[in-house]
Amino acid sequence: IRIAVINGPNLNLLGVRQPEIYGYDTLADLESQMRAAAGNNAQLSFMQSNHEGEIIEEIHRARNEADAIIINPAAYSHTSVAILDALNTFEGKVMEVHLSNIHKREKFRHHSWVSGRADAVICGMGMAGYLAALNYLMAS
Ligand code: DQA
């Protein structure tokens, strides 16, 4: 299975950005943990962008080159109909992941546009959420 892992704005600063909320592991740590978990059972691609249009273009790329998407759209979850529309053009499984429990935080984080397309939504498990999504996809 080919899986595109897409991380949205500010997640390049994982490990140093509000570690009390997002933890001390970096995006590079996430990639190595996921690659170790995938072994030869999944082909992973990783992309992070602070730009909405680049995330949309990565989703378009995934239309031809991936069987599933694991996406943390970060703040764009709460604002971006454009990312929702892009995901609606993708035919494979979409797993939405948030490190923090968005429902336990400010009200403006409670709604995610992407959840209207996601096959599953995982939040509040930190990086373990991405690994849960990966294990689910590898088993399905
Ligand atoms: C986040 C939650 C969002 O509300 C926030 O804007 C982020 C990260 C998370 O992983 O918990 O940047 O998606």
Closest to 7 in 3D by CA, of 36, 38, 29, 24: 29
Q: Which atom of ligand 1 is nearest to the CA of 11?
A: 12
- Cα distances from 38 to residues 2, 33, 90, 116, in angstroms, run 10, 9, 22, 27
Q: 22 an active-site residue?
A: yes
Among protein residues, the one whose CA lies closest to atom 8 of ligand 1? 74
Structural domain including 29 reads 2-139
Give the C-alpha separation, 14 to 98, whole Å.
12
ipTM of this complex prediction, to 2 decimal places: 0.99
- CATH number of the domain where residue 77 is located: 3.40.50.9100
Encode 28-44: b = buried (16+ Cβ within 10 Å), e = exposed. Answer: eebbebbeeebeeebeb
Going residue by residue through the chain (140 aa), what tens digit of pLDDT does each one get?
Answer: 999 999 999 999 999 989 999 999 999 999 999 999 999 999 999 999 999 999 999 999 999 999 999 999 999 999 999 999 999 999 999 999 999 999 999 999 999 999 999 999 999 999 999 999 999 999 99
121 Cα to the center of ligand 1, angstroms: 13
Total tally of structural domains belonging to the chain: 1
Give the C-alpha separation, 71 to 133, whole Å.
10
Q: 24 an active-site residue?
A: no
